[in-house]
Amino acid sequence: MIKTAMRYRWFILSMMVMGLVTIADRGLGSRAIDTTIMTLGEMLFIIPPIFVLLGLLDTWVPKDTMVKYMGEGSGLKGILLAFFIGSAAAGPLYGAFPVAAVFMRKGVKFSNILIFIGAWSTTKIPMFLFELSALGAPFAITRLLVNIPGIIIIAYLLNAIVSREEVETMYLNAERLSD
């Protein structure tokens, strides 16, 4: 019982704070509860398809293939593939992290995972098409051309800054998720 409570302590604390806010200001508490329910509903709509696709990726794509195309010796093709997968993705950014964990288990290079997450967050094809129609081609193309090298620079800077031990710990934690 205590172990379960400790595992969910942040959730329990959040619910207690939300309860206190509702007692103090009924309107604000009501809006917070409505937002929480809406967000949970959205997550329940998005997360299951992502996990189905992850299961297929985990089962159908051998580790050797992922290492070959996105692993340590992948070079430019790994970067391009990380950009393509991230840009073609749909859904909010929190959907990228389970995919990144599967990539870690499959031996994808850390910088390529960072590029994938950066591409998921900023270079999605549907977002680019929306920007083309709503904000015009000069804005959309300029933003894309600034973001692409920015993502690569940030990924390689983070790769250089984060210690090897920390990266290995992340890979081990990702491996434990599959147990």
Q: Which amino acid is at 159?
A: N
Contact 79, 123 (CB under 8 A): no
> What is the token pair recorded at 120?
């998921």
φ, ψ of residue 92 to 5 degrees: the values are -70, 165
> What is the token pair recorded at 169?
């710990």
**How many residues are given for the chain?**
179
Render pLDDT for 95-134 as a digit per residue (tens, 0 to 9). 889 889 999 999 999 999 999 999 999 998 888 999 999 9
What is the greatest pairwise CA distance in the chain? 58
Query: CA geometry: angle at 156 spanning 152 and 157, to 5°?
Result: 115
Give the chain's residues under pLDDT 50.
none
Query: What pLDDT, on a 0 to 100 scale, did the predictor assign at position 35?
Result: 92
Kindly report the pTM of this predicted structure. Answer: 0.78
Query: What pLDDT, on a 0 to 100 scale, did the predictor assign at position 179?
Result: 60
Contact 86, 96 (CB under 8 A): yes
Query: What pLDDT, on a 0 to 100 scale, did the predictor assign at position 42?
Result: 83
- For the chain, the domains span 1-46, 61-177
